[in-house]
Amino acid sequence: MLRKAAMLVALGFSAGAQAEVLPIISGEPASAAEVAMMHGVAVDQFSGSDGRALAAAFERQLARATDRAGADYFAIYSLQSPGAADRVEVVFEGGASASVEERRTQQKRRYCKDAEKPRTDCEDKVKEEREVTCRQRVIALTSDLRAARELDGRIIYSRALPRRDEVTWCPADAAPPASEDVISRMIGDVAADFADDFTPLWQNQAVRVLESRKGLSKDQGNRFKAALKATKTDAGEACRLFDDLAAEAASQRSLAYNAALCAEMRGDWETALARFEAMAGDRDANAAARRVQGTMAALALEEERSRRRSE
């Protein structure tokens, strides 16, 4: 879930409604690169009281995974199927168990004065502090996942992901969600976090251009303002103007950065990286260089994976 804050691949990104930004498609390589190279996978039985639920949720996440072109990233097989023997490259196994503990706890809360039953729907000035008996619930989920290479049985991935949900409710409070619903949500989150480790992350970003005209002539400044305006409707035209200006004033910070950003937008990663790195010490350029390096690493992983599959 952490990697998926903005992750879904949507190549039809439009910057039409944005202000002074360029549309950038960026990538991050999978953290479990060896597993990410595999194509045929199988999910074995999971242990624990909630293992079956985690196995099913994890398998659904794998089935949703796609590459940059939108094709299924994995082919998922049942270990009992006739085709599994020749096609499965990695087998996932793991486990999950949830525990629920409830207890009474004393809390100090403010309630309406003179109310027969605890109420909070009054002005604060007519409330008084009372010590009341409340309930506290703690749900703890332990989960782990391992990936074994089918070729030799070697474990090539192992990770444990604990989760905890704690809630306290007192008289007049709304009851919390049912324990079963919370556990189901936690299992879904864990399954998504595990699956994120095995595929590159592709996302669309609206990256803001730099807007300072310091050091430009009046004519260059006017053309720079035209380029800024064009970012709202025509990114290609904006970049044409930025590139022309950068050829005239290559050392001007905004132009150097924006021209590099345009190269990144076009998918000319090597040029973009070289331009960002040439702005050594610039915080914005350094962050952009790291983004481009991540994209290049994700592309290299997918290209190598495609090459292996074609052999």
CATH class of the domain comprising 30-199:
alpha beta
State how far the Cα of 243 lies from the Cα of 223, in Å rounded to an integer: 11
* Three-point CA angle 291, 293, 299, nearest 5°: 105
pLDDT beyond 70 at 274: yes
Domain boundary assignment for the chain: 30-199, 203-310
State how far the Cα of 167 lies from the Cα of 138, in Å rounded to an integer: 7
State how far the Cα of 286 lies from the Cα of 280, in Å rounded to an integer: 7
Average pLDDT, the chain: 91
State how far the Cα of 90 lies from the Cα of 87, in Å rounded to an integer: 9
Is 191 within 8 Å of 61 (Cβ atoms)?
yes
pLDDT, tens digit (0-9, with 9 covering 90-100), for 10-53? 333 343 445 699 999 999 999 999 999 999 999 999 999 999 99
Q: Residue range 75-86: average pLDDT?
A: 87
Query: By C-alpha distance, which of 30, 28, 38 is closest to 6?
Result: 28
As its CATH architecture, domain 203-310 has Alpha Horseshoe (1.25)
pLDDT, tens digit (0-9, with 9 covering 90-100), for 182-234? 999 999 999 999 999 999 999 899 999 999 999 999 999 999 999 999 999 99
C-beta neighbour count of 280 within 10 angstroms: 9
